[in-house]
Amino acid sequence: EIVLTQSPGTLSLSPGERAALSCRASQSVGSYYLLWYQQKPGQAPRLLIYGASSRATGIPDRFSGSGSGTDFTLTISRLEPEDFAVYYCLHYGTSPPYIFGQGTKLEIK
């Protein structure tokens, strides 16, 4: 079973700065199957990125995804106040189980 490890656990940055969040898989995964979600307090996760680099509908272009094999990155080019949240990566393969990373909390410095 694939394990996804996200780093850092917490990232403290200021609005306007660039954020880079890492998701590392325990074995190589197809780029088609790596997704990113954002979750704010009291809300369900929201899809940001699928297929490692495709933005979901309505997601601003300051969000971008990259990577392949075992190493994937979510980049937020210029942080807006509403971007401070918890971010999860997900391996959504062709069959279950579906595995989430443990999350990275992006907090205001």
Partner 1 sequence: QVQLQESGPGLVKPSQTLSLTCVISGDSVSSDSAVWNWIRQSSSRGLEWLGRTYYRSKWYYEYEVSLQSRISINPDTSKNRFSLQLNSVTPEDTAVYYCVRGIMVAGPSPGFDCWGQGTLVTVS
Could you give the count of Cα atoms lying within 13 Å of 7 in the half-sphere of its Cβ?
4
- As measured in angstroms, the least distance from the Cβ of 18 to partner 1 is 25
Contact 8, 20 (CB under 8 A): no
Does residue 92 belong to the site contacting partner 1 (CB under 8 A)? yes
Considering only the stretches 15-23, 66-74, 75-83, 92-100, report the one whose residues sit in contact with partner 1 under the rule CB under 8 A: 92-100
Nearest-5° Cα angle at 22, 77 to 54: 60
Give me the 27-66 binding string for partner 1, x by CB under 8 A, dash otherwise: ----xxx-x-x-----xxxxx--xxx-x-x----------
Q: How far apart are CA 73 and CA 107, in angstroms?
A: 18
**Cβ nearer to partner 1, comparing 16 with 97:** 97
Within 8 A by CB and 6+ apart from 99, the residues are 1, 2, 3, 4, 90, 91
Q: Which residues of the shown chain bind partner 1 in the complex (CB under 8 A)?
A: 31-33, 35, 37, 43-47, 50-52, 54, 56, 88, 90, 92, 95-100, 102-103
